[in-house]
Amino acid sequence: MMNDNYVDVSNGLGIPFGGIGTGYSVFGQYGFTAVNYDSVPDEIMYIGQKNLAWTSKPDQEAQWAFAIKSGNRTIVLQKEVPSWLPDAEAISGFQAHAHLPKGHFGFQIKDLCLQLSMTAFSPMVPHDLENSTIPVQIFDFTVKNTSHSQTDFTIELVHAKPSWKSNNGLAVWSDPHGDIAMGCDGGSSGHNSVYKDISSKPDREAQIRFCIGWNYPNFRTPSPNARKHYQRYYTRRFKDAASVVSYAQKKADDWSFAIDQWHNSYDVPAEFHRLWFSSLSSVITSTMMSADPFFFEIETPHHWVNTMDVSVYSSWLYLINWPELEKMDMDQYFSAIPTSGSLKGFVWHSMWDDACHYVEEPTFLNRIYRDYLWFNERNWLDGALTHAENAADFVYSQDNYKDLIVSNHGNQSYDVWKMPGISSYVNSAWVYGLYSLEKMALTAGKDVNIKDYPVKDLKDRAVASFNEILWNESGYWNCFYRTPEADKGSVPESVFSDQLFGRWAVSLDTGVNSVLPEENIKKALKKIYQHNMVKDGNFKGWVNGRLPDGSTDDSGSHSKVFWVCAQLDLGSLLGEYDFEEESLDVFRSFEGSLKNNHLAVGEWNQSLRMDGKTERLREEHGKDTPRFPSYPRYKCCWEYLIRILGVKFDEKHLFLSPFKTISYSFSNIILGGVTLTVNVQRGWDKAVLDDTGVSGDIRIPRDEQHHHVQFINSNI
């Protein structure tokens, strides 16, 4: 029985299965599509923009199929029969529901008294990287005989190529790059299939498990400046695909149970469940891992690798579930950033690439501080601090105006929406980045100067300039200010939904409200929420930019789109400043706008026409929602877990200040190294920590204990 937490994707391309950095394939109404075990993420899919559509029929037919044989009938478990099985028939009905990392499928077969369902998954278990990086897919079938007599049938997994080798009950395919194995528990193998024969009595159920494992040891990233060949992470444990399948057949029940526990540990409104767990689609389809170990996230559909301004958003999912991946990413950035010469401190836009000439150093400063607050490791901070200092010095030395960062050509991460001069996006990150550098220096007991200016003094001057130059008396910070040497173009006074990106990036800090005036932040958030909101039929969203008179900002196509990350961090900041209803409105509206495309979220969903109506962006419709694979920044939806709990850190404590307008609970979750079970009642007015009542701040030690916190409504 499906519940509201599941997402119906019956009419889509399907559901991706695979681990972190392993490769993947997608299963759905057309059977197996995008079998991607030995290539970079989405290399097969991204042939043309039409192939990005989540609902489009794939150009290439599947080379794999599940089939059921009964009497003289062969039925493939998909809606169209592949050409290589000409005597088969297709199913008459199909259902698919995603609850990643599991997917649930139902198959209807005309004139056959068998009730057939399947649950598929790959092992992805939070805080268990070893089991979350295994190149395997498990398919569990349940077949019930609904007739009044015994029924004999065979269920099989078959491949189009006939030259597989049968080996100890497995079928194995080898090529120059690696191998694939498939197995059926308690079944048999043939020259291109694995199968099981079943004799089923009336009203009895049969359980059949299939596994596909693969081993393609070597890869290169899609970066045009990729440095070398890498060996895949999973090769540290497995020598071939057969050993993967053999291991999976022993462990699959444990993995399935652990996944169910993960789901059950989140008792939250359904929209949170749907969005958080569906975003695992992006993990499955956009990551690669090496045995070094290095973690690569691909900015699909581009070839960019570990993009700084993308990862700062997407890595919230990793911080909460696999924090070592964020550390791998940052450590690799540290190794790539020059430490001497004219580019000392330069931060790549994408690993080893900077074709877009973005200004990434301010984002880098915030990300280091955010990660330190999460990791709470002084040794890591000591190593990171030098890179942070170099980055601040580099970007300030390149060009500044009244201590703010200048980009004369306006490439400020919103691409074709240019912000030439001083942008609020880069410079909100800059002022909070200087604050982050100041706090890190104090923690490390180190004096930090940027071009001979103490970092605190430079921060104070930059904050003053930010307010003086960009603040608009209508109640927001302008999109940008055109400095004398800056290019012409765009509209400086446009109301920009992501103008407080820097504030959002370091929201874990307990003292962050000391930077920009709190009163102004609240005014800006209320202004954006009200001014940039667009309703069009059943759609509701917050557009990237809107002119002061409420008309569409058409100065660049990206100004008029509903950018996923900008909407979500706007909503999160509304919650940070106690606008809970508005915060939940943003989250729920975004989640609702996806309809059933939760697995296939683009960089934005819809764009705003000049007449105030919405449509898919004509210039780049392939990057709108729905599209596949999902865009990495979508994973920043996990930051809302932090928001609804009101999480902040210092070196010794975790602080909680949960939302009061909804009820929810989390069991055995780990946040910043602290294990918590939290129960929140709507309208709570008192707190109990480990059986002791608490008044004032809810302050939880950062220790190895499991802490229980209750937020109780005393009127219930």
pLDDT in tens, 459-515: 999 999 999 999 999 999 999 999 999 999 899 999 999 999 999 999 999 999 999
Question: Is the overall model pTM greater than 0.95, yes or no?
Answer: yes
Could you say which of 628, 644, 660 is where a domain stops?
A: 644
CB 271 within 8 A of CB 5: no
| Banded model confidence at residue 356, pLDDT cuts 50, 70, 90 | low
Q: Is the dihedral of CA 671, 676, 677, 681 positive or negative?
A: negative
Boundary of a domain, candidates 221, 246, 262 = 262
With respect to residue 271, please indicate whether it lies within any of the assigned structural domains: no
CATH code at 612? 1.50.10.10
Residues 629-655 have a mean pLDDT of 96
Taking a C-beta distance cutoff of 8 angstroms, is the pair 465, 390 a contact? Answer: no
In this structure, the answer to whether residues 458 and 594 fall within a common structural domain is: yes
336 and 249, same domain (yes or no) = no
pLDDT score recorded for residue 355: 63
Residue 284 within any structural domain of the chain? no
Q: Would you say residue 49 has pLDDT above 60?
A: no
Query: Distance (Å, rounded) from C-alpha 546 to C-alpha 296?
Result: 35
Q: Is the pLDDT of residue 450 over 80?
A: yes
Specify whether 381 is located in the same domain as 254. Answer: no
Residues 659 and 568 in one domain: no
Question: How many domains does the chain divide into?
Answer: 3
Q: Would you say residue 289 lies in a domain?
A: no
**Is residue 100 domain-resident?**
yes
Residues 135 and 151 in one domain: yes
- DSSP for 350-414, please give it: BTTB-TT----HHHHHHHHHHHHHHH--HHHHHHHHHHHHHHHHHHHHH-EETTEE-BTT--SSS
DSSP-derived 3-state class of residue 35: strand
Copy the structure tokens of residue 635: 């994973």
Helix 378-398 crosses helix 361-375 at what angle (to 10 degrees)? 170
In terms of domains, do 187 and 67 share one? yes
Indicate the range of 2-6, 55-59, 603-607 predicted with least confidence: 55-59
**Residue 647 carries which DSSP code?**
-
Whether residues 85 and 204 fall in one domain: yes
What CATH number did the domain enclosing 71 receive?
A: 2.70.98
Q: Does one domain contain both 625 and 665? A: no
According to the model, what pLDDT value does residue 409 have? Answer: 86
pLDDT in tens, 395-421: 999 999 999 999 888 877 688 899 999
Domain around 153? 7-262
Is 277 within the bounds of a domain? Answer: no
Return the beta strands (E) in 291-343 as ranges.
Answer: 295-297
Reference 434, options 364, 499, 524, 521; nearest CA is: 364
Mean predicted confidence (pLDDT) in 639-653: 97
Element (H, E) at 592: helix 580-593
450 shares its domain with 313: yes
- Structure token pair of residue 216: 């393609």
Are 604 and 669 found together in one domain?
Answer: no
Do 140 and 172 reside in the same domain of the chain?
yes
Which of 644, 671, 693 is where one domain is finished? 644
Collapsed DSSP state (helix, strand, coil) of residue 575: helix
Report the candidate in 203, 77, 206, 194 with the shortest Cα–Cα distance to residue 143.
Answer: 206
Check whether residue 41 and residue 116 sit in a common domain. Answer: yes
